[in-house]
Amino acid sequence: ASMLIDMGSEVHVFEMLDQIIPGSDPEAARMLQRQLQKRGVKFNVGVGVEAPRIGDSVTIPFGEDSVDVDVVLVSVGRGPATDDVGLDKTSAKVDRGFVEVDPSTMMTAEQGLYAVGDIVAGTPQLAHVGFAEGIAAVTHIATGETAPVNYQAVPRVTYTHPEVAEVGMTADQAQEAGIEVETTKHAFNGVGRAIIIGQNQGFVKVVAEKDGPIIGASVVGPQAGEMIHELMYSVGWEALPTEAAAFVHAHPTLSEAVGETLLSSAGRSLH
């Protein structure tokens, strides 16, 4: 939608769940939706669609309304392609096409048979996750040592304009897990570099256990996919806010938004 609206198309987005990019921080999703709406994208959230009617154009019925379009892009995820590859002749356990593995080695129940990437049951279907799982498998094959992937510290990036990047748990997910959290946020409209480049919409948010380590973070804004990696280390190393906030960020940079958020999380906000 972000790309097509920039190319001059009229774009309608239908999302059956209650927010776009489900599973993301709700505030981050709302910020992205607002920015895309300003550029002309039309959203229908919490709405299911019926089978399209195809004539001179394609009619998409939804609720008591409909919209005529030229092209429909169905983007509801993807399934594993593991049929007819011989897994039924092994001891590997398969659930609806997804292969179950030992997460410490990526080995299946069949000795010496490994699975990585999108076909692995219960892991994110992301290219960089597949790479990391491949490294874990090869490490075990070559050395017998385990090198498990820290899935909690895997960054997730939505490559829109503005970008949305997240790592770890959202505040809602933490609370559902019974974890008491504190959240802090710093907006890009207070960051000099963001003002200079004219992209000052968005924010950095940090989620930390109350009196404990950083367990999640979200970035909405320019180069969010690059900036999330500093916060990835904080989550992966279970850094306390005071530890993560102890480093100086260059000025003027977009990363100052991360530094300001960490300072705020440590109780030492400057702005």
Residues annotated as catalytic are 251
| Cα 83 from Cα 234, distance rounded (Å) | 40
What is the distance in angstroms between the CA of the first residue and the CA of the last residue of the chain?
35
| Cα 49 from Cα 67, distance rounded (Å) | 11
| Cα 53 from Cα 45, distance rounded (Å) | 21
Q: What are phi and psi of 65, to 5 degrees?
A: -125, 180
Please say whether the beta carbons of 235 and 216 come within 8 A: yes
| Cα 59 from Cα 79, distance rounded (Å) | 27
| Cα 11 from Cα 36, distance rounded (Å) | 10
CB-side neighbour CA atoms (13 Å) of 62: 16
| Cα 106 from Cα 135, distance rounded (Å) | 10
Omega prior to 124 cis, within 30 of 0: no
